[in-house]
Chain A
């Protein structure tokens, strides 16, 4: 450290003036610091590391300021999504319509059903005898004596759009005609015609229609037009899975038909334009690295994530170094039983498996639902508190030899107080090794933090960290399809850690007086 390199630039430079041999200008004196810097900058890897670090720092600390987006700003997009539109069922139960002014209660209906199943044409219930007549396929009329009481049917007579329910007589006549394949009927003194599609026409105008399908709207407030139903029935009959229908408003929609065999329901899904989070958006001009699951800009998340990762690294290493300096300094200076005691504490902490302990505490905090911000503080404290033994060991080792040197005798002779001696005269001599250890420690702390965040036990949403950005790959679909979501975060992580390691390695070589280059 204290070696001075004497150089003679004059001779190579071809000097004009002659200087006397002991002239100060002949000798270029470099301070130890300058020497270290010179050696450091000669190391290409170290310079590369320094550049990498500078880039990462600018990226995370300044990038976050110029980025137009916030850390947890969400973006939305329109996308076509298949939404449940209507559900269609084929009516397989007998339904009843009671004639005006008559009664045919549920108990009587049950009796009728019994009779119908067993093929009887008559049944009695509560001293009334009923007669049932099969008027057509799945169509019965029930009468008592000469009066028609009710009809039972499976094909349903629906009113035309927005019209009132057809009267009993119309229903009866229409069904009778429909089930028997007739094309005209008379009811209430009017002549109706029945076309092939089951439409009931009066003077050429559609009054209603007969169909076995029941169409229920899944979206409230939607009118389902007859036209659409026809289209739908045709699609169901021909077993097509998709059809296109142009609504009254002129908009064309694609509908998807899914048959649920268990429930015997066709659910029809409409492709509608929906406003959603811009999840996993492809990289574009607005979002150079795309968006993440929650539709947040990836580049901005990376910047803020870098901030979190670097700040955590610094705080943790600061805590580690602080505890290490105090305990290592005391142990090294006092020696004997103090040293023994502190070193045994170091041994104990060295043996405590830190990663498992952090995982346990992390999942416990998960259980207690600790606020993400407080959780981050705890994380830093725990990492710092578990990581100091390395620092203490190194400092104690250095101080053990330093305290035997003459300058310590001098400090003792000057009557300088013990804490001052340790922290003002011994520790500054350890600074080079300390800086190297801190730089390397920063790299490994960032990896540890990232690993924990990756496992979901470190920094939590809404805060970004490089680790929890990568944790999206736990979903294997994201891993394979959306590489742009996690690869940049991994590269940032690698660059930052590599930067710290290159610089740390370079500093170690530069500080080492034995390395002559």
Chain B
């Protein structure tokens, strides 16, 4: 087990190295007009250095004066020492901006994940136990509709109905108009109120795949020999399903949910952007569209790490939960 984890970790480091290299090359190949624009702006300030000096200084500051490969190693060294530079778009250190915005995304994603689990697992199990019934058809169709719904369309419809027509919520933003006048509890409630629509969007859009996954795995387990044995033994159907079958369905479920935990930190780009919630998704969207290379570089590397971490966690969890894997 330990050897397996060590091997996987080493491999992850290698993959991460390649991924960050690809990202770095990509960002370096973009038209570098941002540095030039900035130098142009800085050089017009009164009593400033000439344009060429600014360009040279900025290039040196961002490691853009080196060739791509040495430049990558300088960047890598900086990143390894925790120095991600200053965001061009937000003019604060990348890490500072990141720590400001990450929590709201995690809270949003976390609540959405809990809701998803609460909806998807019971419904998925129901669909599987009553395969080909009307309920099964409805749940399967519902899950597929959820998967097929484009986030932006669904969010806009929600906004139109609940924010514009019914006026229950604000159209966008995280804080109400009178946020500053509220006390601590009021502030929290205000934020929670503003988070309702985004969380509903996130939940509905991603609940489908989890529901289908539960159903497929439950079906697989229900077809297994030990379930037949359990039934043959004369156990009640309830006991067969919730005691014998469900526990075995949990194995793949725990694996996939564990694997999706790091994903909570990657934020919800589309949903946050549509509802103008200053989470990591919206922030990085702004950074990326304005060509903020330091922030983009950080965000993309961070996403890659999260993906790797997710795979690693699900592999390890699989071995932890399923004794059969451990022996093999």
Contacts and interface: CB of A to CB of B under 8 A. Distances in A.
Given A347-B15, A498-B145, A514-B223, A352 B156 contact: no
B285 A352 contact: no
Interface stretch (A171-179, A291-299, A331-339, A476-484): A476-484
Interface in B32-47: 33
B144 A479 contact: no
B16 interface: yes
B296 to A, nearest CB: 6
Interface stretch (B20-28, B76-84, B231-239): B20-28
B309 to A, nearest CB: 10
Contacts of B30: 360, 364
Contacts of B285: 359
A402 interface: no
B171 interface: yes
Interface stretch (B63-71, B120-128, B300-308): B300-308
Interface in A335-363: 344, 347-348, 350-353, 355-357, 359-361, 363
Interface stretch (B53-61, B109-117, B146-154): B146-154
B153 A497 contact: no
A457 B151 CA distance: 16
Interface in A465-517: 467, 470, 473, 476, 479-480, 483, 486-487, 490, 493-494, 497-498, 500-502, 505, 514, 517
B300 A353 contact: yes
Contact of A490 (B27, B150, B284): B150
Contact of A443 (B148, B171, B288): B148
Nearest to A483: B160
A95 interface: no
A454 B152 contact: yes
Contacts of B214: none
A465 B273 CA distance: 21
Contacts of B223: 514
Contacts of B284: 356
B304 A497 contact: no
A359 to B, nearest CB: 5
A486 B156 contact: yes
Interface residues on B, range: 35 or more
B152 A357 contact: no
Given A351-B307, A479-B160, A44 B137 contact: yes
A368 to B, nearest CB: 6
Contacts, number: 123
B299 interface: yes
A348 B299 contact: no
Given A351-B304, A447-B148, A494-B153, A359 B19 contact: no
B201 to A, nearest CB: 13
Nearest to A446: B150
A101 interface: no
B288 A363 contact: yes
B97 to A, nearest CB: 16
A367 interface: yes
A501 B19 contact: no
A353 B160 contact: no
A45 interface: yes
Given A351-B19, A364-B291, A451-B270, A470 B152 contact: yes
29 contacts: A44-B137, A45-B140, A45-B144, A348-B15, A350-B307, A351-B307, A353-B266, A353-B303, A353-B304, A359-B269, A360-B27, A360-B288, A360-B291, A363-B289, A364-B30, A364-B31, A447-B150, A450-B152, A450-B153, A467-B150, A470-B153, A486-B156, A490-B157, A494-B150, A498-B148, A501-B148, A505-B144, A514-B223, A517-B132
Interface of A: 44-45, 344, 347-348, 350-353, 355-357, 359-361, 363-364, 367-368, 443, 447, 450-451, 454-455, 457, 467, 470, 473, 476, 479-480, 483, 486-487, 490, 493-494, 497-498, 500-502, 505, 514, 517
Given A347-B11, A494-B149, 6 more contacts: A352-B23, A364-B291, A451-B150, A470-B152, A490-B156, A490-B157
Q: Across the A-B interface, give the 6 residue pairs with the lowest CB-CB distance, nearest first.
A: A353-B303, A490-B153, A497-B148, A498-B148, A363-B289, A348-B18
Interface of B: 11, 14-16, 18-19, 22-23, 26-27, 30-31, 33, 132, 137, 140-141, 144-145, 147-153, 156-157, 159-160, 164, 171, 223, 266, 269-270, 273, 284-285, 288-291, 296, 299-300, 303-304, 307-308
